[in-house]
Chains A and B, each alone.
Chain A
């Protein structure tokens, strides 16, 4: 009788509910944070929230999907039905913030064959400078041994 009571007491104390801590700045989980230096790896970690929701094109633009595009579609009009499936580009401030949350691997221009986004990786008829302050191309890919007139003649991303 005494042994059974002691055992039930131990089991009851073992299943006591754990108090959930209130969330502050120090309790923000790692996948949401802007981690400049990870203490295990010693390098910057990309924000996983950004990788799950955004895509970076080769010209620095970021695109995202529409919020709520799979909810209550039957109640909405035809224009919304069509345009809600589009991807939208981010604003300039959002692009800058997303670039800060990423590591250089994800900011690198990539070239895939049969890429569905290959037409959007370049921007046309933009009058801003072609190069940045380091002399790198802003919107187009680097060509090998190519001058500007030949590049304008053969490539369509100028």
Chain B
């Protein structure tokens, strides 16, 4: 009863009265809280003037020159910023040559009548893309460009002009498109993404350094107008000296923010029910719409 009757001030004063005086020992660490460094003994620093001293002396680290104990040879060269300084910002692509692509189609790993994109190529499990290691897709190279026989509809992230010309000479179509990291993870393993119940992401705009590449019709970027691409197509055929085959009965291209063919952004795919659930909320629908920016600015 007297406990409840006392005020907070009296209880605090009683606690302070019963506490011991603060000593310097109270500010120390607990026993074993810190580990001391290795104790340097006299023999550890011996250069080795005799054979026995050489055998017993502490061995230097890798690269250190015997006799000059504090200067490794890998520090005798000047630094170069071109070597490894931009490793965190540089984008790596998986090389995909035309002869490898023809081989995959020959052996039945890829159906040439359907559009080929990252999901198609990664489903074959012949390529591994790790977005966490800044690998951003496929680079279509021109090995085997002289004898590429298939008329394909392919979407890659980077393509050389020779590879583009080879595919178009065979009657195919090339588009270069940018995938951000989230869309890339969804496109690499769609089964894992759908089983996790995640929303099909909206493919984001390329960064400023890549915007110029994907807006250029020479690279067949996905941000170009179709008329410009047709002009560049005819111009490329004229320059390289081949006759352009009749344009293919083209399937619909993906939208600029679409990851999978036929599945709109913002939907949820259920593999067990074999259904695609599209969003009904107007706010979500507006977010995943490709005309969102116009609406915001108007």
Contact = CB atoms under 8 A, between A and B. Distances in A.
Interface string B63-77: 100000010111111
B37 A52 contact: no
Given A100-B62, A113-B139, A154-B99, A65 B133 contact: no
B62 to A, nearest CB: 4
B76 to A, nearest CB: 6
A50 B37 contact: no
Interface of B: 37-38, 40, 44-45, 58, 60-63, 70, 72-80, 82-84, 90-95, 97, 99-100, 103-104, 107, 109, 126-127, 133, 139, 143-144, 158, 160
Contacts of B76: 67
B83 A55 contact: yes
Interface string A1-44: 00000000000000000000001111010001110000000000
A49 B74 contact: yes
B95 A23 contact: no
B50 to A, nearest CB: 20
Given A25-B40, A55-B84, A150 B99 contact: yes
A110 B62 contact: no
A145 interface: yes
Nearest to B144: A154
Contacts of A52: 79-80, 83-84
A106 to B, nearest CB: 8
10 contacts: A34-B61, A34-B63, A49-B74, A52-B80, A53-B75, A54-B83, A97-B62, A110-B92, A144-B127, A145-B104
Given A26-B38, A49-B74, A144 B103 contact: yes
B183 to A, nearest CB: 20
B78 A65 contact: yes
Contacts of B95: 111, 141
A53 B83 CA distance: 8
B38 A33 contact: no
B63 A101 contact: yes
Given A23-B70, A146-B103, 12 more contacts: A32-B72, A52-B79, A53-B83, A55-B82, A67-B76, A97-B62, A111-B95, A112-B90, A112-B93, A144-B104, A146-B99, A155-B99
Contact of A25 (B60, B94, B104): B60
A60 B100 CA distance: 24
Nearest to B121: A144
Contacts of A69: 78
Contact of B75 (A25, A49, A106, A141): A49
Given A34-B62, A97-B62, A145 B75 contact: no
Interface string A56-68: 0000000011111
A113 B93 contact: yes
